Amino acid sequence: MDAVLEANEVVDSRMKQKKARILCKLDIEKVYDHVNREYLLNVLEKMRFGLKWIKFCTSSVKFSTLINVMEGLNNMLKTTNTNGWLRGFDVASNGKESLEVTHLQYADDTLIFCGAKEEQLK
């Protein structure tokens, strides 16, 4: 419920500013059935799991790995914002300071907020 309220506040704030906007909703249904093994190994290694442990756990006939696969998307969106490729919605602006929201994630859903500019969509 909190995520819905947060998303509503972000959209409401942008509408009050009367600026062009884009909201993209991604529903990552059944993402766990389609995880690329190479990508999974790379993520586990970046999370500082030992390479021997990773190979042992993933080379057996039967294994299961519990990992937040949304973390990769979250990091990609943060990088696009840091590099200036994606600008989110300014929320709670008081003239001096504002909070920029580029995305919200919960469960298998992601909301991406950006300005209505072609270069941000690319």
- Give the CA distances from residue 56 to residues 30, 33, 47, 69, 77, in Å, rounded to whole numbers and listed in that order: 25, 21, 16, 20, 31
Q: In whole angstroms, what is the distance from residue 83 CA to residue 106 CA?
A: 24
Instruction: Give this prediction's pTM.
Output: 0.61
Task: Give per-residue pLDDT as tens, 68-111.
Answer: 677 888 889 999 999 989 888 887 666 677 788 888 888 778 88
Task: Give per-residue pLDDT as tens, 13-52.
Answer: 777 777 778 888 887 766 555 667 787 778 888 888 887 7
Confidence (pLDDT) at 5 = 79
When pLDDT is cut at 50, 70 and 90, the band that residue 59 belongs to is low
- Altogether, the residues listed in the chain come to a count of 122
